[in-house]
A and B are shown apart, each in its own frame.
Chain A
Amino acid sequence: MADIIAGVATSHVPAIGAAIDLGKTQEPYWQPLFKGYEASKKWIAAVEPDVVILVYNDHASAFSLEIIPTFALGCAAEFQPTDEGWGPRPVPAVKGDPELAWHIAQSVILDEFDLTIVNNMTVDHGLTVPLSLMFGQPKEWPCRVIPLAVNVVQYPPPTGNRCYNFGKAIRKAVESFDKDLKVVIFGTGGMSHQLQGPRAGLINREFDTRFLDNLTRDPQALARMQHVEYVREAGSEGIEMVMWLIMRGALDDDAKEIYRFYHVPASNTAVGHIILENPR
């Protein structure tokens, strides 16, 4: 049986990818941020997942305004990094897991989560920056990755509650797959940030801390939070945090927090990172 053993949440700021790609991780601005991921890299190297289900959002890269899927699952064998306007990131191609991905698609659709199946797409910094933060700069990514893109650009994104319950359906799907696989699920984006308008630069450390606390204390309360509260309290782009609730929903109710890191700023953004493990 395949098993989701842990969840990882992290911000996916593009400037972090640029800092890695340009060899700036030891510069004074970036050094504290990358130091915060050292323990996480060791943790995931020890866990050795077979597959990562990576929940992220596309930033007008693979999807423009022509097609806006609320949930899109990457079922291909390979995904190339997107050229986001300054050339693709120099990172390895992402190897998918078509068998498990198709199984998940079939299972969650029959569970009434009508996602979009994608056989051809590129993946942007939303997906590759979390991989770089957790795995560094290997020649090949050490595990297969199933991309799950969530619309958080066009209002309305799915509700937090929908995301939380979708996570539960994903877990059920994974657990009904009849191969022994260790799966880790990533929820990415956030934390508080606003990239547009006269209120750009908004950061809300109290909100972010409460959000991190409630991932273990009271995830149902997070699932009830309305979009308008995310935007008011965590900025227009802070609404991305609904994606963390897919990760949370896919774990046990009594999942344990084993690591947390919080840092301001990376460019315009509060970087939040947490690792939750299911009890064994």
Chain B
Amino acid sequence: MTLQQQFDDIPGTTLFDAQRSRQGYHLNMFCMSLMKAENRAAFKANEAGFLEQFPLTPAQRDAILKRDWNGMIALGGNIYFLAKLFSTDGLSFQHVAALMTGSTQPEYAQMMLNGGRCADGNRSKSEWQQRG
């Protein structure tokens, strides 16, 4: 396998590489703008209007407004930038991680208390396909 294929074979995981960084530049820089209190207030007051100042694709804009976290990751978002958006929403890393895995909050929190998601069975896409 090439290096790219090895990375691509890791299931449920997106590498923030050059291509995604270029694709997600404005999405991530929108998130970065939320480091300022006045921008957080302006965004909350009119989300769609605030987003107009960033040259986002329609899909990126839609994913932001719907808080589709996996969608934002697929469109070039990086988790540390998305953290500015979910912090603005008052959500924690663990809350958003649970949403991205499709679990409820309590289920995810309990999985972590039980030692987390085991590496066995989660290393390659073929393992996920076999599991169905």
Per the bound structure, the CA–CA distance linking A61 and B92 in Å amounts to 17
For A155, give the chain B residue with the smallest CB separation: B17
Considering the complex, which residues of chain B in the window 38-75 have a beta carbon less than 8 Å from any beta carbon of chain A?
Answer: 40, 70, 73
**Interface residues of chain B: helix, strand, loop or mixed (majority):** helix
Residues of B within 8 A of A194 (CB): 13, 117
Per the bound structure, the CA–CA distance linking A69 and B45 in Å amounts to 35
Known: A59-B83, A65-B25, A155-B15. A84 touches B35 (CB 8 A): yes
Residues of B within 8 A of A66 (CB): 29
**Interface residues of chain A: helix, strand, loop or mixed (majority):** loop
Residues of B within 8 A of A139 (CB): none
Mark each residue of chain A from 201 to 245: 1 if its CB lies under 8 Å from any CB of chain B, else 0: 111111100000000000000000000100111011100000000
Partner of B87, one of A15, A84, A195, A200: A84
For B26, give the chain A residue with the smallest CB separation: A65
Given contacts A198-B100, A228-B6, 11 further A-B contacts (CB under 8 A): A196-B13, A198-B101, A199-B10, A200-B97, A201-B97, A202-B116, A203-B112, A203-B118, A231-B15, A232-B10, A268-B97
Partner of A268, one of B14, B34, B84, B112: B112
Partner of A206, one of B94, B116, B119: B119
Partner of A199, one of B28, B34, B83, B122: B122
Per the bound structure, the CA–CA distance linking A83 and B116 in Å amounts to 30
Question: Could you tell me the distance in whole angstroms from the C-beta of B81 to the nearest C-beta in chain A?
Answer: 5
Partner of B29, one of A65, A83, A202, A233: A65
Question: Could you tell me the distance in whole angstroms from the C-beta of B97 to the nearest C-beta in chain A?
Answer: 4
Residues of A within 8 A of B32 (CB): 60, 64-65
Interface residues on A, range: 35 or more
- What residues of chain A have their CB less than 8 Å away from a CB belonging to chain B? 14-15, 59-61, 64-66, 83-86, 153-156, 192, 194-207, 228, 231-233, 235-237, 264-265, 267-268, 270
Is A196 within 8 A of B102, CB to CB?
no
Is A200 within 8 A of B100, CB to CB?
yes
Is A198 within 8 A of B108, CB to CB?
no
Is A233 within 8 A of B13, CB to CB?
no
Per the bound structure, the CA–CA distance linking A85 and B38 in Å amounts to 11
Q: Give 27 A-B contacts (CB < 8 Å), ordered by A residue.
A: A14-B93, A60-B31, A60-B81, A65-B28, A85-B83, A85-B87, A153-B80, A194-B13, A197-B14, A198-B70, A199-B12, A199-B101, A199-B117, A200-B101, A201-B111, A201-B112, A201-B116, A203-B116, A203-B117, A204-B119, A207-B119, A228-B3, A228-B7, A233-B119, A236-B13, A237-B79, A265-B113
